[in-house]
Amino acid sequence: MSYDYDAFAGEEVLIIGGIGFIGANLAHRLVGLGARVTLIDSMNPAYGGNMRNIDGIADRVTVNISDVRDRHALPWLVGGKAFIFNLAGQTSHMDSMSDPFTDLEINAAAQLSLLETCRAHAPAAKIVFASTRQIYGRPQYLPVDEKHPIKPVDVNGINKTAGEFYHILYGEVHGLRTTVLRLTNTYGPRMRVKDARQTFLGIWFRRALEGEAFEVWGGEQKRDYTYVDDVVDALLRAALDPDCDGRTFNVGGGEILSLRETAEIVAAAADAAYAVREYPAERKKIDIGDYYSDASAFAAATGWTPTVDFAEGVRRTLDYYRHHLADYL
Amino acid sequence: MSYDYDAFAGEEVLIIGGIGFIGANLAHRLVGLGARVTLIDSMNPAYGGNMRNIDGIADRVTVNISDVRDRHALPWLVGGKAFIFNLAGQTSHMDSMSDPFTDLEINAAAQLSLLETCRAHAPAAKIVFASTRQIYGRPQYLPVDEKHPIKPVDVNGINKTAGEFYHILYGEVHGLRTTVLRLTNTYGPRMRVKDARQTFLGIWFRRALEGEAFEVWGGEQKRDYTYVDDVVDALLRAALDPDCDGRTFNVGGGEILSLRETAEIVAAAADAAYAVREYPAERKKIDIGDYYSDASAFAAATGWTPTVDFAEGVRRTLDYYRHHLADYL
């Protein structure tokens, strides 16, 4: 497959969660492609929004501070858009357990109101929704493909399940053009590194660059990671390809690394140390054990494969934060 | 398996949706067993609540008019209960498409607040949740067992999925004792017959007793049906059996009948006529085709099997409405 990314030139594009990690990286790419980009973000300090993320493109995008839960503002914002990248989400598994209602409002209820709004005001828009491997729960087999049972082990996984099911349903019943991508650990420049709310890698990078040993919980769990530029490329392919309409794909499938192997790579790249500690009891209840994705369906549909290996991605990420860490604390 | 139903004598039991169809039948049974029964119901005219449903037991139950969405009232109502039957729900598939937010509030958000309330105020209560076959969507094989993929074809199915997943999650993570029963078409005395909001059988019974031909949409779709006394028995077994804690079961698996065969039985019992018409286009999008349940897991766990065959159940239901139809219009 080859895609004509120039198709985005001059197109009206909305990125929900556009000042956050993945959203801002996508915005940089789309601005480079000549798209007319509007970014919605709540700038809620618990999430990924950070104005430094749009340094260099701030004067070439429309910034609109609003929350995806604000259903009153959505009609105007959605109207006239050709592409909608729906990336806003509550991503913390622990927060979803301590405050399940907020997770429900953002990851389920707001998705429903967005889709209702699109029905009325942007029925022809292509919508790409970022979902998560978390919906599968503890893998019953590996690698996990899209046929794996859906058995979330936390409130976040349940609400994301509802959110992505609404997207497919509104395609089938109301004719919206939607694609769902189930992401695994995404990392790279512009990620949240203040804490572990986006992925544990964030806090690892921070600690490593601050010269402190970072903490590895457990160590044996296997994971796969996707560098953010690869995720951005996946989002663009899903948006451009009408054959992706109505479909749900895993995006992932790079190297499979144990947490300890992951830590070795980060520690070596940052010249830092790490300490292995026991997996905390209160997190164990919602731990998913080993996880890595089978992304072959998306590869077959779009030709997408990860192109940045983990060591290289870590190097690029650390390079970014060596210059920008203070902006992300 | 044999269960000591006398174990309910003197116990504090809460039935949410207790003045509705299944809830009221359960209340009659539990009052007979000597339980101390509290009924919560919103008496929302779109749902199943009908004061005639508790004729004969009204002075032996505590009636509390409140909506499951009222999270402020729940702590007092839930406190001190040994058994909680969680039967309140928005059940109309069509309504869930025209008003998805109400369905979300009742079938997902309110379930989360109920479970949070139970954590705080009734952590030892046994909770039995009534879910629906609708979460499976269009069957990929028949009969449908609990391993069938979850692919709802309407908003109702998505929100019920979230609701039941919360119940299992709160068992695993917070130690609540929860069982989920996925019901198929339940019918019997005290059902809603005003319209098709509970099942199409309701409006069939009404039309048949009013001497009008009832409408059969399509005719070839296969279904299974459960008489309400059998559902009540399933609820009681799930409540009493600690081995059911944390588990999800299909309840169903009686005779398998096409809609036309179903109509023949109803028409014969009521001495009525029916007319087959084409399946309406706007419903086709959320139609699930053939469905019938494999309830063998629940049979293996509890010994439950349906005991009332469809012709007999229809006869009893029609007998009830011959005397009470006016109270249900």
Give residue-wise pLDDT tens across range A234-282: 999 999 999 999 999 999 988 999 999 999 999 999 999 999 999 888 7
Q: Report how many domains make up chain A.
A: 1
Q: What is the pLDDT of residue A18?
A: 97
Whether residue B120 lies inside any domain: the answer is yes
Question: Cβ–Cβ of B162/A158 closer than 8 Å?
Answer: yes
Tokens of A229: 């530029």
Residue B102's closest chain A neighbor by CA?
A109
The residue-averaged pLDDT of B100-119 equals 97
* Chain A nearest C-alpha distance from B273 (Å): 33
C-alpha distances in angstroms, A141 versus A43, A149, A161, A285, B63? 38, 10, 19, 19, 49
pLDDT at position B286 over 80:
no
C-alpha distances in angstroms, A199 versus A192, A299, B180? 8, 24, 32
Q: Does A119 touch chain B (CB under 8 A)?
A: no
Q: Does B325 touch chain A (CB under 8 A)?
A: no
Report the amino acid identity of residue B36.
Answer: R
Domain that includes residue B111, residue range: 5-188+226-253+293-307
Rounded to 5 degrees, φ, ψ at A69 are -75, -15
Whether residue A14 lies inside any domain: the answer is yes
Average pLDDT score over chain A:
96
What is the separation of C-alpha A178 from the centre of its chain, rounded to a whole number of angstroms? 16
Say how many residues make up chain B: 329
Whether residue A28 lies inside any domain: the answer is yes
The dihedral sign for the CA sequence B269, B270, B272, B277: negative
Rounded to 5 degrees, φ, ψ at B48 are -95, -5
Rounded to 5 degrees, φ, ψ at A211 are 80, 15
Q: Which residues fall within 8 angstroms of residue B42, CB to CB, at 6 or more apart?
A: B49, B65, B66, B67, B68, B88
ipTM for the predicted complex comes to 0.90
Q: Does B108 touch chain A (CB under 8 A)?
A: yes
Question: Cβ–Cβ of A173/B113 closer than 8 Å?
Answer: no
Residues of B in contact with A285 (CB under 8 A): 172-173
pLDDT at position A169 over 90:
yes
- Cβ(B297)–Cβ(B253) below 8 Å: no
C-beta pairs of B279-285 under 8 Å, 24+ apart in sequence: B279/B217, B279/B218, B280/B217, B283/B94, B283/B217, B285/A172, B285/A173, B285/B153
Q: CA-CA-CA-CA torsion for B190, B194, B197, B203, nearest 10 degrees? A: 90
Average pLDDT score over chain B:
96
Residue B97's closest chain A neighbor by CA?
A173
Query: How many whole angstroms separate alpha carbon B241 and alpha carbon B1?
Result: 10
pLDDT at position A284 over 90:
no
Of A108, A113, A158, the CB nearest to B169: A158
Q: Which of A150, A165, A174 to mutate to test the interface with B (most CBs of B within 10 A)?
A: A165
Q: What is the pLDDT of residue A120?
A: 97
Q: Does A97 touch chain B (CB under 8 A)?
A: yes
The residue-averaged pLDDT of B60-76 equals 95
pLDDT at position A1 over 80:
no
Rounded to 5 degrees, φ, ψ at B299 are -60, -45
- Cβ(B88)–Cβ(B40) below 8 Å: yes
Pair type for strands A222-223 and A257-258: antiparallel
Question: Cβ–Cβ of B161/A165 closer than 8 Å?
Answer: yes
Q: Does B90 touch chain A (CB under 8 A)?
A: no
E-strand ranges in chain A read: 12-16, 36-41, 61-65, 83-86, 126-132, 177-183, 185-187, 214-217, 222-223, 225-227, 247-251, 257-258, 274-277
pLDDT at position A202 over 90:
yes
Query: How many whole angstroms separate alpha carbon A284 and alpha carbon A137?
Result: 13
**Element (DSSP H or E) covering residue A109:** none
* Chain A nearest C-alpha distance from B169 (Å): 6
Strand partners, A63: A39
pLDDT digits (tens, 9 = 90+) for A51-67: 999 999 999 999 999 99
Print the SS3 string covering chain B: CCCCHHHHCCCEEEEECCCCHHHHHHHHHHHHCCCEEEEEECCCCCCCCCHHHHCCCHHHEEEEECCCCCCCCHHHHHCCCCEEEECCCCCCHHHHHHCHHHHHHHHHHHHHHHHHHHHHHCCCCEEEEEEEHHHHCCCCCCCECCCCCCCCCCHHHHHHHHHHHHHHHHHHHHCCEEEEEEECEEECCCCCCCCCCCCHHHHHHHHHHCCCCEEEECCCCEECEEEHHHHHHHHHHHHHCHHHCCEEEEECCCCCEEHHHHHHHHHHHHCCCEEEECCCHHHHCCCCCCCCECCHHHHHHHCCCCCCCHHHHHHHHHHHHHHHHHHHC
Tokens of B165: 């997943």
Query: How many whole angstroms separate alpha carbon B132 and alpha carbon B139?
Result: 13
* Chain B nearest C-alpha distance from A165 (Å): 7
Q: Provide the pLDDT confidence category of residue B2 given band limits of 50, 70 and 90.
A: confident
Whether residue B197 lies inside any domain: the answer is no
pLDDT at position B1 over 80:
no
- Cβ(A215)–Cβ(A200) below 8 Å: no
**Element (DSSP H or E) covering residue A118:** helix A110-121
- Cβ(B19)–Cβ(B43) below 8 Å: yes
Whether residue A200 lies inside any domain: the answer is no
Question: Cβ–Cβ of B152/A169 closer than 8 Å?
Answer: yes
- Cβ(A13)–Cβ(A38) below 8 Å: yes
Q: What is the pLDDT of residue B67?
A: 93
Query: How many whole angstroms separate alpha carbon A329 and alpha carbon A126?
Result: 35
Give Rg (Cα) of chain B.
19
Residues of A in contact with B112 (CB under 8 A): 100-101, 104, 155
In a 13 Å sphere around the CA of A45, the CA atoms on its Cβ side amount to 3
Question: Cβ–Cβ of B113/A97 closer than 8 Å?
Answer: no
Question: Cβ–Cβ of B161/A161 closer than 8 Å?
Answer: yes
In a 13 Å sphere around the CA of B137, the CA atoms on its Cβ side amount to 17
Residues 275-314 (A) with a CB less than 8 A from some CB of B: 285-286
Tokens of B118: 């139970």
pLDDT at position A198 over 80:
yes
| Percent of chain B at pLDDT exceeding 90 | 91
CA-nearest of B109, B311, B86 to B183 is B86
Q: Provide the pLDDT confidence category of residue A310 given band limits of 50, 70 and 90.
A: very high
**Element (DSSP H or E) covering residue A261:** helix A259-270
Query: How many whole angstroms separate alpha carbon B186 and alpha carbon B251?
Result: 10
Q: Provide the pLDDT confidence category of residue A305 given band limits of 50, 70 and 90.
A: very high
pLDDT digits (tens, 9 = 90+) for B31-55: 999 999 999 999 998 889 999 999 9
Q: What is the pLDDT of residue A124?
A: 98
Beta-carbon count within 10 A of A73 CB:
16
Please measure the distance between the N-terminal and C-terminal CA atoms of chain B and give it in whole angstroms. 41
Please measure the distance between the N-terminal and C-terminal CA atoms of chain A and give it in whole angstroms. 41
Q: What is the pLDDT of residue B242?
A: 97
CA-nearest of A200, A177, A174 to A187 is A200
pLDDT digits (tens, 9 = 90+) for B118-141: 999 999 999 999 999 999 999 999
pLDDT at position A88 over 80:
yes
Whether residue A165 lies inside any domain: the answer is yes
Give the CATH number of the domain where residue A171 resides.
3.40.50.720
Residues 164-203 (A) with a CB less than 8 A from some CB of B: 165-166, 169, 172-173
Residues of A in contact with B169 (CB under 8 A): 152-155, 158
